[in-house]
């Protein structure tokens, strides 16, 4: 396993950085999928098409996010048994994960194609963009099994400390996505549908590369076709740890859908401006996401090996680094939002609204960092229900109540944007209290 990082030995900070850096770059290239779509569609198709893609972001994360979150349980289980050197269980867990990924992918395809129009109408997607949004999402869902399977194979590799190969595969697929996006949309004039097809093809290539490696590698995490079957005990353990994370992703999305539906009331320029800012913010969150994913694997491997002191040292280092980076990125976006948004869409109203959201949200990125890093720690320690309840309470229920009430009294878009920093603050306070008071360090014992 030459590409794997040994997270159980050596200087904690060095190993975490070595493991997290490829995850950071992988997440960066994942963001390119959506950003390239927005850039090319915004410049070659128009503001309405850009608004249509922007209106699908929350819906995509609501549906796909549940399954991706659930698969964090797969990674924790494999990491735990890998750390405790129970390699025969690792083999069974890998086989179970692959079958689970295929089943989930098929179910999500059927659900997405059938219910996309209904869900977009609930979100009050404007009539001038809803047909484009439906077309984009249905093509996206037809290829969503590739996305689910890549996250499955990615989770397997990261669970054993290998974050380099997923990076290589994502670089290849992202470059392909850029080429196909430009060809289908700019050259052939296929419009928003061309952008969706380009994404599906690129994702399919990435999962083919991942599966090829896992089917041929000489290691304990190899996929053996003749051993592909469900292992009841393992699937229960995976779902027990993963479903709370899936629900967490979904409830965050529900809150964001309510916010998005209120943004939609302000028209297509507001949708486009907020959507573009969302793409920029997504890049700002990449280091946060990377450290959170790295922490989950680091914590679960080392708790499996009973290395409690090492776990605490790694958690503290990651939180300090993650929050520091988040502050730096937030300041940069705050002062450069106008120019960044201009690259996506040069309409003055789109730039004004996107810049307004940046001014309100970007200086609070450190709170997002702390919340996500705390959630990563708790998932790795088997306490995935805690982040679920925190996010349900503040990023969904409180966010929905806040937006619903305040927008009826103060009907300006600023009020909607403030929902984010307020709920980030409340979740951070909750995580601080839990991490200091609870015995989470023995969660996998």
d(CA 434, CA 108): 34
Q: What are the CA-CA distances from residue 38 to residues 260, 272, 349 (Å)? A: 17, 10, 17
In a domain, 392, yes or no: yes
d(CA 428, CA 370): 6
Which residues, at least 6 apart from 320, have a Cβ–Cβ distance to it below 8 Å?
Answer: none
In a domain, 403, yes or no: yes
* Domain, as residue range, for 225: 13-442
In a domain, 1, yes or no: no
Q: Tell which residue, 369, 365, 354, 363, has the closest CA to residue 413.
A: 354
Give the number of other Cβ atoms within 10 Å of residue 397's Cβ: 15
d(CA 90, CA 82): 6
The per-residue pLDDT string of the chain (445 residues; one tens digit each, 9 = 90 and over) reads 456 788 899 899 889 888 888 888 887 877 766 677 677 887 788 777 777 777 677 677 777 778 878 878 888 889 988 888 888 888 999 999 999 899 989 999 999 899 989 888 887 777 888 888 899 889 989 989 998 998 899 889 988 888 899 889 988 988 898 899 899 988 888 888 898 899 899 989 999 999 999 999 988 889 888 878 888 888 898 888 888 888 887 777 778 778 888 888 888 889 889 988 988 898 888 888 888 888 999 999 999 888 999 999 999 998 998 899 999 999 999 999 999 999 888 889 999 999 999 999 999 999 999 999 999 999 999 898 999 999 999 998 999 999 999 999 999 999 999 999 999 999 999 999 999 999 898 867 6
In a domain, 20, yes or no: yes
Q: Is the dihedral of CA 385, 387, 392, 394 positive or negative?
A: positive
Q: Tell which residue, 359, 323, 366, has the closest CA to residue 341.
A: 359
d(CA 336, CA 340): 6
Number of domains, the chain: 1
In a domain, 8, yes or no: no
Give the number of other Cβ atoms within 10 Å of residue 331's Cβ: 13
Per-residue pLDDT at 299: 92
In a domain, 227, yes or no: yes
Provide the 3-class DSSP secondary structure of residue 412.
coil
Provide the 3-class DSSP secondary structure of residue 2.
coil
In a domain, 205, yes or no: yes
d(CA 192, CA 207): 23
Q: Is the dihedral of CA 279, 280, 285, 286 positive or negative?
A: positive
Per-residue pLDDT at 2: 54
- Chain CA centroid to CA 372, Å: 11
**161 within 8 A of 301, measured Cβ to Cβ:** yes
In a domain, 217, yes or no: yes
Which residues, at least 6 apart from 88, have a Cβ–Cβ distance to it below 8 Å?
Answer: none
């Amino acid at each position: 396993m030459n590409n794997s990082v040994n997270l159980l030995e050596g200087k904690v900070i060095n190993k975490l950085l070595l493991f997290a850096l490829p995850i950071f770059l992988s997440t960066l290239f994942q963001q390119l999928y959506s950003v390239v779509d927005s850039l090319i569609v915004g410049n070659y198709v128009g503001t309405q098409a850009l608004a249509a893609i922007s209106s699908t972001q929350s819906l995509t994360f609501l549906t796909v996010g549940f399954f991706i979150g659930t698969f964090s349980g797969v990674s924790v289980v494999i990491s735990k048994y890998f750390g405790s050197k129970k390699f025969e269980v690792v083999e069974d867990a890998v086989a179970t994960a692959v079958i689970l990924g295929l089943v989930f992918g098929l179910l999500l395809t059927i659900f997405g194609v059938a219910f996309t129009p209904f869900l977009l109408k609930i979100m009050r997607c404007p009539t001038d963009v809803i047909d484009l949004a439906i077309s984009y999402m249905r093509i996206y869902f037809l290829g969503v099994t590739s996305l689910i399977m890549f996250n499955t194979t990615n989770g397997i590799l990261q669970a054993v400390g290998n974050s380099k190969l997923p990076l290589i595969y994502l670089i290849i697929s992202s470059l392909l996505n850029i080429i196909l996006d430009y060809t289908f949309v700019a050259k052939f004039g296929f419009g928003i549908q061309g952008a969706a097809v380009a994404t599906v093809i690129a994702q399919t290539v990435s999962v083919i590369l991942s599966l090829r490696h896992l089917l041929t590698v000489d290691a304990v995490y190899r996929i053996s076709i003749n051993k592909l079957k469900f292992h009841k005990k393992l699937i229960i353990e995976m779902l027990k740890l993963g479903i709370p994370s899936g629900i967490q992703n979904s409830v965050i999305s529900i809150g964001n859908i309510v916010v998005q539906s209120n943004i939609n009331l302000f028209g297509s320029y507001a949708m486009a401006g907020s959507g573009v800012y969302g793409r920029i913010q997504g890049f700002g969150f990449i280091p946060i996401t990377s450290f959170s994913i790295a922490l989950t694997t680091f914590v679960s491997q080392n708790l499996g090996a009973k290395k409690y002191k090492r776990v605490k040292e790694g958690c503290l280092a990651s939180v300090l680094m993650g929050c520091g980076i988040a502050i730096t990125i937030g300041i940069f976006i705050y002062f450069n939002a106008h120019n960044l948004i201009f690259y996506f869409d040069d309409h003055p109203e789109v730039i004004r609204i996107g810049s307004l959201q940046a001014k309100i949200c970007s200086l609070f990125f450190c709170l997002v960092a702390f919340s996500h890093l705390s959630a990563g720690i708790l998932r790795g320690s088997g306490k995935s229900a805690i982040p679920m309840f925190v996010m349900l309470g503040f990023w969904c229920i409180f966010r929905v109540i806040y937006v619903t009430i305040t927008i009826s009294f103060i009907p300006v878009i600023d009020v909607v944007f403030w929902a984010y920093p307020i709920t980030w603050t409340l979740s951070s306070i909750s995580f601080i209290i839990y991490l200091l008071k609870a015995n989470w360090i023995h969660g996998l014992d």
